[in-house]
Amino acid sequence: MESAYLKTAVDAATALEIRLPWVIASAWQAVLNQTPLEFEHNRDIYFQLKEQAQDVLGTTLTEQIRSFVDNPQLTALIIRNCPRDRDTPPTPYSGVLSPRSTPIACLVSLSIHSLLGINPVVYEGENDGRLFRHVIPSRNASSQKSSHGSRLRFSYHVDNPDLPLSSENVGTLSCCPEYLSFFGMRCDPRINTTLVNVDELVAALPATTISELTAPQFVIHRPDSFTSNRRKTAELPVLVRGLSGEWLCRMDCENTHAISLKGECALNTLKALLDSRQFDEPHLLLPGDFMIFKNQRVLHARDGFEPQNDGADRWLIRLFAVNDLTRVRHSRADHLYEVLS
């Protein structure tokens, strides 16, 4: 009986899409309406949310969701028709809003992260230590190329790519986020979140270009979303092999620079291939849609747009996560989620 409720699809872009039927979404909504939002200094709620989600979603759907982490071919997961806040406030143009103003969205995001067995984090110097970041067109940052920008295209990038990738050793800093999720609060049909699969991209590159991109001859600058710790790295490779032989990437079209002529040529070849847009996989998130993707296995981008500044502009809630908490360095003993960067 349970399987009759499941509607899933895996497209050629290795994205798993699941649509929750009304009966399951409604049952989950009823449970979350009675769940207190007490996550900032209490990890116990994280495990309680996992048990709640398992009970409501059932075995088959839970196993499908969990397959996203373990299946190396899957790079993105979209769960549509999740529970959502019934009284959604206006789009928060300041980028600051208490989780208690959007409790259901925050609880759904935490529940799915817990179900996947991954660990939410926030990086020191970005988002003022707040776990949830509001992806909105800020009135004060419209010309930035960040999640708070709007008018300029936010080109292809991996988030926090200057930090160690999954197969690289960590030192005093924390690892690069392995997952990035969005929860749809308010949509704009003009604006997609665009993903590019790294494996498909690398397969289209000449062998000589790949060789140059795997050499440590690139400098990465911190993106505009960091208000402090705006450092640049020592020489790093753009492409790295993962622990299972998969390709990992730290490309950021706006903030990656080569220190050699060969490296610059390889970088230009990669950018030209991206600019052809033949690998673009556009996804429109509706209110109540949850998307998570493997940050080092895909690049993501967003086209520029003109916000209306009427309280109804596009709004997503973002959350970072990592697989292994031993690969992060906590910034303060009293903060469960903020890590050094």
Q: Model pTM?
A: 0.93
pLDDT band at 331 (very low <50, low <70, confident <90, very high): confident
Q: Answer whether residue 13 shows pLDDT above 60.
A: no
Read off the tokens for 314: 């596009």
Q: Span 203-224, mean pLDDT?
A: 94
Q: What is the pLDDT of residue 4?
A: 40
Pair of tokens at residue 166: 């999954």
Indicate the helix (H) or strand (E) that contains 115.
helix 103-116
The H or E element containing residue 182 is strand 179-186
| 129-139 residues labelled b (16+ CB within 10 A) or e (exposed) | ebbbbbbbbbe
Q: Is residue 188 pLDDT above 70, yes or no?
A: yes
pLDDT tens digit sequence for 93-126 = 999 999 999 999 999 999 999 999 999 999 998 9
Rounded mean pLDDT, 192-202: 96
Query: What per-residue confidence (pLDDT) applies to 3?
Result: 43
Q: What is the pLDDT of residue 154?
A: 82
78: Cβ–Cβ under 8 A, 6 or more apart, which residues? 15, 16, 17, 18, 283, 285, 289, 290, 291
Residues found in the chain: 341
Confidence of residue 129 (pLDDT cuts 50, 70, 90): confident
Q: Which of 189, 188, 186 is nearest to 85 (CA)?
A: 186
Q: How far is C-alpha 267 from the chain's CA centre?
A: 24
- In angstroms, the CA 338 to CA 341 distance is 9
* pLDDT value at 205 more than 80: yes
What domains, with CATH codes, occur in the chain?
2-200+282-339 (3.60.130.10)
Is the distance from CB of 259 to CB of 218 less than 8 angstroms?
Answer: yes
> DSSP code of 281?
E
